[in-house]
Structure 1
Amino acid sequence: MSKRIAAKHKIDRRLGVNLWGRSKSPLNKREYGPGMHGATRRKKPTDYGIQLFAKQQLKGYYGSISEKQFLRYFKEASRRPGDTSETLIGILETRLDAVVYRMKFVPTVFAARQFVNHGHILVNGKKVTIPSYLVKEGDVVEIKSASREIPMVLEAAVLAERDIPEYVEVDPKAFKGTFVRVPKFAEVPYPVQMQPSLVVEFYSR
């Protein structure tokens, strides 16, 4: 088992949820945290604990986002007009690695980050190797022709665990998709309940 897969499973168990809705999650067999004390009963969380959990869950879902970067997204969302929690979700969903994942070019968000890093993705015909690159409405995202036979790509295409959301359009035969629009929170197909309003409360303390 790779370190990346092991870390992903540990996140699931630490948070106590099957964060990505995957059939291989250890939570499907044992619904408790990692370590020798993982199965012990936890105390009732405080308001701070609930907010912290919401933040860890949302941040963890998007893979390898650092705390510093996640805080920067929150500050950017709070500067923009409108509902901060909705804006935060919109920013997260425009990350290139998130878009690659939504288009089902790869099986996991962790794979999406690695896939972009290794130069397999083009945006409007140009190679982009920055997973945090923010895609704009109308941008065309595609897999380089030389990378389309990678086993991970072929595996992702037939995964039945998730569907492609309406805010992206994908031509699977051409390995190409268009980011149609920034989604609303209610449109994002999270496998578990996310509470971005609690994330806003956490950072607004």
Structure 2
Amino acid sequence: MSKRENSKYKIDRRLRVNLWGRPKSPINKREYGPGQHGQGRQKPTDYRLQLMAKQRLKGYYGSVSERQLRRYYLEAVRRKGDTGENLVEILERRLDAVIYRMKFAITVFASRQLVSHGHVKVNGKRVNIASYLVKDNDVIELTAKAKDMARVLEATQTAERDVPEYVSVDHKDMKGTYVRGPKLADVPYPVQMEPSLVVEYYSR
């Protein structure tokens, strides 16, 4: 198991949820946090509820920094409509998230690596920035080298996840289209996400 996978599962235990719905998560066996006080139960404060909601959303997307998430929040506030819904849509437009949704990668961490190593094209141009925000009707495809990678082929065949309706994908050609920005209800989170609490956290 890689160092990255170890740290990934530490996130699961700390947040006490199977964040990505994976069968390997230690939470499947131990539904409590790490350490000698991990099994303690106490009524969470409003601040803690907001903080945990923020940590779940931030952790789910793997490599989103605190600075990035705050910037996304400010952009979500600026846009018309519900701020929480806007925040989720922005996160789902990240290129690494789109690669994950299209099942070109088995985890969000693997999708980031695929992008940063230059294996992804957007509208025919190579993009190696995981935080690149795709637009409606952008065409995303893998490079010729990436199309034959064993880990990519494995990801496309996994039954762990389905491709959501706001992206369309052809796994034969390893090519897909980002159809539209999703609403919260459209996003197939394995655990309950509460972006409204994240908004409350940042608006304190």
**Same fold by TM-score, threshold 0.5 exceeded?**
yes
1:100-152 CA-partner distances (Å, limit 9, x unpaired): 00000000001111110000100011100000000000100011011111111
Deviation at 1:42, TM superposition (A): 2.8
Q: Which residue pairs with 1:81 in the alignment? A: 80
Q: Quick one: which amino acid aligns to residue 113 of structure 1?
A: R
Cα distance between partner residues in 2 of 1:149 and 1:120: 11
Distance 1:75 1:169 in 2: 29
Q: What is the CA–CA distance in structure 2 between the aligned matches of 1:108 and 1:58, rounded to whole Å?
A: 15
Q: Within 2, Cα distance between the matches of 1:61 and 1:24?
A: 16
Q: Given the alignment of the two structures, is residue 151 of structure 1 paired with residue 164 of structure 2, yes or no?
A: no
**Identity over aligned residues, as a percent?**
68
Determine if the alignment matches structure 1 residue 28 to structure 2 residue 36.
Answer: no
Query: How many Å separate the matches in 2 of 1:99 and 1:118?
Result: 16
Q: Give the aligned partner of residue 132 of structure 2.
A: 133
Q: 2:192 is matched by which residue type in structure 1?
A: Q
Q: Which runs of 4+ in 1 moved over 4 A?
A: none
Q: Residue 9 of structure 1: CA displacement?
A: 0.4
- d(CA) in 1 for partners of 2:37 and 2:81? 43
Inter-partner Cα distance in structure 1 for 2:119 and 2:81: 35
Q: Deviations over 1:47-66 (max 9, x none)?
A: 00000000000000000111
Q: Are 2:5 and 1:5 aligned?
A: yes
Q: Deviations over 1:124-182 (max 9, x none)?
A: 11100000000000100011011111111011011111100000000010000000000
In structure 2, stretches of 5+ residues that fail to align are none
Query: Match of 2:108?
Result: 109
Residue type of the alignment partner of 1:135: V
> What RMSD over aligned residues (CA atoms) do the two structures have, in Å?
0.8
The one-letter code sitting in structure 1 at the alignment partner of 2:98 is: V
Shift, 1:37, TM fit: 3.1
Deviations 1:26-60 (A, max 9, x none): 1111111123432x313210000000000000000
CA distance in 2, matches of 1:107, 1:196: 25
Amino acid at match of 2:188: P
Q: Which amino acid aligns with 1:18?
A: N
Residue of structure 2 equivalent to 1:93: 92
Instruction: Please give the secondary structure, in 2, of the residue aligned with 1:170.
Output: strand
Map 1:33-48 → 2, pairs under 5 A: 33-38=33-38, 40-48=39-47
Q: Work out the CA distance in 2 between the residues paired with 1:64 and 1:22.
A: 18
Count of residue pairs brought into register by the alignment: 204
Superposition deviation, residue 71 in structure 1: 0.3
TM-score normalized with structure 2 length: 0.98
Compute the TM-score of the two structures, normalised by the length of structure 1: 0.98
The aligned amino acid for 2:168 is E
Does residue 1:181 correspond to 2:180, yes or no? yes
Structure 1's unaligned 5+ residue stretches are: none
In 1, Cα distance between the equivalents of 2:169 and 2:117?
22
